[in-house]
Amino acid sequence: MGRERLSAVDVIRTKRDGHRLSDDQIDWVVDAYTRGVVADEQMSALAMAIFLNGMDTAEAARLTQAMIDSGERLDLEVDRPTVDKHSTGGVGDKITLPLAPLVAACGAAVPQLSGRGLGHTGGTLDKLESIPGWRAQLSTDEIRKQLVEVGAVVCAATEGLAPADKKLYALRDVTSTVESIPLIASSIMSKKIAEGAEALVLDVKVGSGAFMKTEQDARALAEALVGIGKQHGRKVTALLTDMSVPLGRAVGNAVEVAESVEVLKGGGPQDIIDLTVALAREMLALAGIDADPAQTLAAGGAYETWCRMISAQGGDPEAPLPKAGHVHIVEAVADGTLTQLDAYQVGVAAWRLGAGRARKEDAVQHAAGVICHKKPGDRVLAGEPLLELRTDTPEAMEGALQALDGGYRVEHGTPEPAKLVIDTVR
C-alpha cells in the first residue's frame, strides 16, 4: 500500500476540535474508507466528532458528493421529466405504493429506489415482496426499460450506488451516531442524487412514530436536505408531515399493499389519499407537469399503471395476498371516543408480530401486522374492535400486546385533529 496524501488522525482531530473539514479532507477520507485504508474505528471516531460538532451545509454537500463519487450513477435516459420521493420513515407509511404509479400516470418518470424496514418502521420492498412473484432486484438496464415503458419503478438500489454510504451507514448503526442531521442528510441525498432524478420531494416525518420526534428537529433535517439538493443543482421540496398516529388503518406488509390497492381503486382511508395527492402535487410541480393527481386517482389511471408496474417486475397484481394464521382482537372496554393511538407503539407491536426485523439479515412475515379498526376521533362502543393483531407465530401475541399497553385511550370528549401536512420547506 502506497503512502497516503492525508492522515485519518488529522481529519478526525480537525472535526474533534470543532473546525470545518476542507473539501480535500472530505474527499480523501470517504475514498480512503471505501478502499479500506481508513479503519472502521477511525471512521467511527470521525462520525462521533461530526455527531457532536456538526457540519455546515457546504461540508454536508461535499460529503454527499464524495459518497456519490464512491460508486456509479444511474443514467436514466428517459424522455419524461424524472422526479422521486423519499420518506424518512414511519408507521403505516405505504405512500410510495399509490404515489409512484399516480405520478407516472400523470406523465412523469418515477425512479423509486427503496429500502427495507428496520425496527418499528416498515420498508417498501418488504411490503411489495408480499405480492407473489414480485422481485426487488433489477439491473440498471431493467430500471431504464421499465421507466420508459411503464413510467414508474420501485426497486432496490443497485450494488454500485454510493457504496461509501452503505459502509458508513452500517457503522453508524452500531456506534450510536445515526441521529446526526448532516450524516442523515448526506446519506439520503447521496443515494437520491446518484439515482439520477432531476427533482425530489422529501416527506420528513415528525412525531412519536418518526425518526424525528419534534418539529424543530424535523425542520432542521428538512432544511439540511433541501440545502444539499440546492448545492447539487437539484429541485427539492420537503414536506413536514405528522407521524404521531399510524397512516391509514393497516400496519405491516401484505395488509399495507391491500390498503394501497384500495386507494388506487378509488377508496381507502382519507389520510392516505390526502398525503398521496399532496406529495403528487409537489412532485408534478417540480417536474413542470400541469395535471390534477386527485382526478387521475379517482379516474383509475393510477391503478392501471400500478398493475403494469407490478407485472413488469414479475408480480401478479391479481394474486391473493398472504393471510396470517392467528388473529387477536383488542376490544374497547368502555364507550367513548378514541383520543390517542400512538404510532410508535403500534409500530413496535407490528414488528413483534413479525412484520419488521431487528437486524438487516432477519426475515419478515408478509402476513403479520396490525389493523387499526378505529382512529383518533372515532366514536367507539364497549366491546367494539379497536385493533386487530395478525401473526403466524402465536407466541408473539403477548409481546405485541405489551407494546400496545398505554398506547391508546378511549375517553369522553373529542381530540383536536392533527394537521397531516404541517409545513413545506422549499
**What pLDDT score does 3 carry?**
79
Report how far Cα 387 is from the mean position of its chain's Cα atoms: 24
Question: Domain limits at 16?
Answer: 8-54
Number of domains in the chain: 3
106 and 141 fall within a common domain: yes
pLDDT digits (tens, 9 = 90+) for 78-121: 999 999 999 999 999 999 999 999 999 999 999 999 988 877 88
- pLDDT(319) > 70: yes
**What pLDDT score does 326 carry?**
98
Q: Where are the alpha helices (DSSP H) in 54-180?
A: 57-69, 96-105, 124-128, 140-149, 163-173
212 and 296 fall within a common domain: yes
- Cite the active site residues: 86, 165, 172, 187, 191
> What does the block give as the cell for 5?
496524501
**What pLDDT score does 170 carry?**
86
pLDDT digits (tens, 9 = 90+) for 380-397: 999 999 999 999 999 999
Angle between helices 181-195 and 40-53 (to 10 degrees): 110
pLDDT digits (tens, 9 = 90+) for 276-308: 999 999 999 999 999 999 999 999 999 999 999
**What pLDDT score does 190 carry?**
95
307 and 342 fall within a common domain: no
**Confidence band of 19 (pLDDT split at 50, 70, 90):** very high
- pLDDT(124) > 60: yes
119 and 260 fall within a common domain: yes
**What pLDDT score does 2 carry?**
61
Q: How many CB atoms lie within 10 A of CB 267?
A: 11
- 119, part of any domain: yes
**What pLDDT score does 359 carry?**
75
- pLDDT(241) > 60: yes
**What pLDDT score does 145 carry?**
95
**If you average pLDDT over residues 255-275, what whole number do you get?**
97
**What pLDDT score does 221 carry?**
96
The angle subtended at Cα 201 by Cα 372 and Cα 205, nearest 5°, is 40
Q: How many CB atoms lie within 10 A of CB 130?
A: 23
Predicted TM-score (pTM) of the model is 0.94
**What pLDDT score does 72 carry?**
92
What is the number of alpha carbons within 13 Å of residue 287 lying toward its C-beta? 26
**Confidence band of 194 (pLDDT split at 50, 70, 90):** very high
Q: 36-45, long-range: CB within 8 Å, 24+ apart, which pairs? A: 37/1, 37/4, 37/8, 38/8, 39/8, 40/171, 42/8, 42/9, 42/12, 43/8, 43/168, 43/171, 44/171, 44/175, 44/177, 45/12, 45/16
260 and 178 fall within a common domain: yes
Distances (CA, A) of 269 to 91, 261, 349, 373: 15, 11, 21, 11
**What pLDDT score does 77 carry?**
83
Domain boundary among 312, 336, 367: 312
**Confidence band of 74 (pLDDT split at 50, 70, 90):** confident
Q: How many CB atoms lie within 10 A of CB 314?
A: 12
- 62, part of any domain: no
**What pLDDT score does 399 carry?**
97
- 13, part of any domain: yes
Find the CATH number of the domain harbouring 100.
Answer: 3.40.1030.10
**What pLDDT score does 413 carry?**
84
Which residues are CB-contacts of 398 (< 8 A; sequence separation ≥ 6)?
Answer: none
- pLDDT(69) > 80: yes
241 and 154 fall within a common domain: yes
Closest CA to 352 of 312, 405, 315: 405
Distance of alpha carbon 37 from alpha carbon 29, whole angstroms: 9
Q: Which residue has the cell 454537500?
A: 61
pLDDT digits (tens, 9 = 90+) for 362-378: 889 999 999 999 999 99
User: Chain-wide mean pLDDT for the chain?
Assistant: 95
